[in-house]
Amino acid sequence: MPKLTEASTNKKPELDIASYDETVTANEASKKGTKQTFSTGLVRILPPVVAGLMLLGIILLILWRVRLYIRFMIIRLRTGKKMSSDEKVVILTEQWLKQLHRKGFNRTTNETLRESISRWEQNAPQMILPLRQLLELFEKAKYSPQSISETEWRLVQSLTRTLVVELKKNEQNIA
């Protein structure tokens, strides 16, 4: 009778080819399943991500369109009172002066706004009308005891838009 210790050490493990083939096939199937899970996961994740980016873009566009009102709201929160139309006109004038400066219409420190506009009109005659009207409304808002009405405030907004369009036309003519 063989000893138990000898029998266990002398035996070589037998390889079962059928079980080996099944193991290899299972490993390959699991790898393929991982690829399928990744691609289906991407398909599942991609639409919400794209929708989120589109929503973010729409929100940013809306914020860009109402940025002036947001600016007035922030000033209102800081001061604790509603801004008058006069204050709005002064702020909007400062804004279009910055736009003009970016487009090459510079002001010197010793020039009044009226002098600057008369000089700019020589360089860009197509902007005479909106500049003069904006100047009159600015002077009324800043220096006159009369206050700007809501219709004049709306006029300032439309003149500013007209001025931006004229600036773009002027820029295209220069280029």
Domain chopping of the chain, boundaries? 17-64, 82-174
Looking at every residue in the chain, the average pLDDT score rounds to 80
Using CA atoms of 143, 146, 152, 157 in order, give the dihedral in degrees to the nearest 10. 30
Higher pLDDT, 165 or 174: 165
Q: What is the pLDDT of residue 18?
A: 54
* Cα distance between residue 169 and residue 164, in whole Å: 9
Q: What is the pTM of this model?
A: 0.60
For residue 159, CA distances in Å to 44, 81, 137, 142, 163 come to: 49, 26, 10, 17, 6
Q: What is the pLDDT of residue 63?
A: 92
Higher pLDDT, 84 or 27: 84
Average the pLDDT over 66-81 and give the result: 85
Average the pLDDT over 53-69 and give the result: 91
pLDDT in tens, 10-20: 555 565 555 55
